[in-house]
Amino acid sequence: MKYILSIDAGTTSSRAILFDKKGQAKATAQYEFPQYFPKESWVEHNAKEIWTTQLKAIQDVIASEGISIEDISAMGITNQRETTVIWDRTNGEPVHNAIVWQDRRTASICTELQEHSSIFLNKTGLVLDAYFSGTKIKWILDSHPSLRKRAEAGELAFGTIDSWLIWNLTEGKVHTTDVTNASRTLLFNIHSLEWDGELLNLLDIPSSLLPKVVSSSEVVGKTAASILGKAIPISGIAGDQQAALFGQLCINPGDVKNTYGTGCFCIMNTGEKAVVSQNKMLTTIGWQLNGKVTYALEGSVFIAGALVQWLRDQLQIIDTAPEIEALANSVNDNGGITFIPALSGLGAPYWDPEATGAIMGITRGTQKGHIARAALEAIAMRSRDIIIEMQKDAGVSFDSLKVDGGASNNDLLMQIQANLLNKNVIRPYTTETTALGAAFFAGLAVDFWKNEEQLKAIWKENKAFHPIKDSTTQACIDLWEERIPKALKSK
């Protein structure tokens, strides 16, 4: 039997999954790696720890019972986007810790560049925010003049996590990224599909740092045989949310999915048209396949599953993340509580990096269950914020929201989401749609799957959540709309 090896390089863990031709996961391995918080609102990773955990995950799935490396047809890579790594081209050593997408240290750089915000928006589809890679690169070079000199001399390489892994998998022979990851850097013109000189000048970033940009589905190189025992084609690359969009087979304009992970990421396919948002959504590249670019609108919630982790690790009202559902179900409603999940500012449609979190409406009668339920409602309400504005931009109204990610397995959260949107919420059998999307891209490039029609036979619905109208839903919305402005700082 033949397989596609999918690498899912996430924010908190490195995973490897083998998919068969039916799109079923036959072997999985996962290893967490540390998060570093050197200062308030700073988030870093050690890029070498990402590589070592990812390599171990790959080696583990290849060593699974009944699996032979000869059976692996190709490899696809999907990754946490925007996280920035700069390394030495000669020895492959990182010259600075990776700055993670959640990191807010470059907010002041974004403020200084605000007079140029329309240039960035028109060329990249992105708002000028610390979320993206460009200002992170600038910060590293500005903070370490010796690194800037080395970058200008062509001695250093920049990459998002896909580029970093491909560099290591090929032992430095391939320095590349795909259009989806490039489109999240503030440096890439999503219309001309090239690194943009004007943007590079505004951020004072040498072009010699940058990887070659390729499509989402093509053979870009092979793994070094010395690493895995065989040279495996690397033939699919996509940022995690674009991979999930494709893995959910949202291949028609108007199709929309929401991934519930560390954050929530909602993307709507807009087809061949790059829709310019009037409501502070992001215009981005969904993928490039067979020479054709598919665009998308995206809204990001910085804190989703991370909110549950915070309740577990900081407040310690649960011992494990899955316990949140039972605790939230221990009460009938939120008890008047609204949880504003601005632990790392607020993303779309507010884009307020200074916003802070809050738990509002606490009384002597407040129980842990009310806080837990309000936390789930907060995740769903932040997604609702985005989806409402996205529909306005695209000029379409959809009937159902496809969902994936770890928290999509929380039935109560999914029912709350259906109620708040007044839409059907559809969960597939395979909620590993991010990894599956990367596998689809990789498999199409090597004829593992012939076309999108074959992929459609793979996607299957697991459960549908239909909206239930009740008074608690409207009360939740009313309290949210009254209270969220109180969390905003910079508007």
Q: What is the pLDDT of residue 77?
A: 97
CB-based contact 297:273 (threshold 8 Å): no
- Could you give the angle at the alpha carbon of 88 between the alpha carbons of 134 and 152, nearest 5°? 60
- For residue 453, count CB atoms less than 10 angstroms from its CB and return exposed for 0-12, middle for 13-18, buried for 19 or more: exposed
Q: Which of 96, 81, 206, 89 is nearest to 140 (CA)?
A: 96
Q: Which residues neighbour 179 within 8 Å (Cβ) at sequence distance 6 or greater?
A: 188, 190, 193, 213, 214, 215, 216, 285, 287, 288, 293
Tell the residue number behind the tokens 């674009």, with chain if given.
242
Q: What is the pLDDT of residue 55?
A: 96
332 CB neighbour count, 10 Å cutoff: 10
In whole angstroms, give the CA distance from residue 82 to residue 39.
Answer: 19
Estimate the crossing angle of helix 47-62 against helix 161-169, to 10 degrees.
Answer: 60
Count of residues making up the chain: 491
- In a domain, residue 257? The reply is no
- In a domain, residue 256? The reply is no
In whole angstroms, give the CA distance from residue 287 to residue 294.
Answer: 5
Instruction: Locate 43 and state its tokens.
Output: 């988030």
DSSP string, 399-439: SEEEEESGGGG-HHHHHHHHHHHTSEEEEES---HHHHHHH
- For residue 249, count CB atoms less than 10 angstroms from its CB and return exposed for 0-12, middle for 13-18, buried for 19 or more: buried
- In a domain, residue 203? The reply is yes
In whole angstroms, give the CA distance from residue 190 to residue 239.
Answer: 15
In whole angstroms, give the CA distance from residue 20 to residue 1.
Answer: 8
β pairing state of 212-214 and 176-178: parallel
In whole angstroms, give the CA distance from residue 212 to residue 410.
Answer: 40
Q: What is the pLDDT of residue 490?
A: 60
What is the tally of structural domains in the chain? Answer: 1
Structural domain of 178 = 3-240
Q: H or E stretch including 300?
A: strand 292-301
Q: Is 194 helix (H, G, I), strand (E, B) or coil?
A: strand
In whole angstroms, give the CA distance from residue 317 to residue 330.
Answer: 13
User: What are the b/e assignments for 154-177, b being 16+ CB within 10 Å?
Assistant: eebbbbbbbbbbbbbbbebebbbb
- In a domain, residue 53? The reply is yes
- In a domain, residue 358? The reply is no
- In a domain, residue 167? The reply is yes
Q: Which residues neighbour 112 within 8 Å (Cβ) at sequence distance 6 or greater?
A: none
- In a domain, residue 136? The reply is yes
- In a domain, residue 171? The reply is yes
- For residue 274, count CB atoms less than 10 angstroms from its CB and return exposed for 0-12, middle for 13-18, buried for 19 or more: middle
CB-based contact 30:13 (threshold 8 Å): yes
In whole angstroms, give the CA distance from residue 343 to residue 487.
Answer: 11
How many angstroms separate the Cα of 194 from the Cα of each of 26, 182, 191, 213, 218? Answer: 38, 9, 8, 8, 18
CB-based contact 14:30 (threshold 8 Å): yes
| CATH code assigned at 129 | 3.30.420.40
DSSP 280: S
DSSP 94: B
* pLDDT (tens place) for every residue of the chain, 491 residues total: 799 999 999 988 999 999 999 998 899 999 999 999 999 889 999 999 999 999 999 999 998 888 888 899 999 999 999 999 999 999 999 999 999 998 989 999 999 999 999 999 999 999 898 989 999 999 999 999 999 999 999 999 999 999 999 999 999 999 999 999 999 999 999 999 999 999 999 999 999 999 999 999 999 999 999 998 899 999 999 999 999 999 999 998 888 999 888 888 899 998 998 988 887 788 999 999 999 999 999 988 888 888 898 999 998 989 888 899 999 999 999 999 999 998 878 877 887 878 889 999 999 999 999 999 999 999 999 999 988 888 888 787 777 899 988 889 999 999 999 999 999 999 998 878 889 999 999 999 999 999 888 998 888 889 999 999 888 899 999 999 999 988 887 65
CB-based contact 78:9 (threshold 8 Å): yes
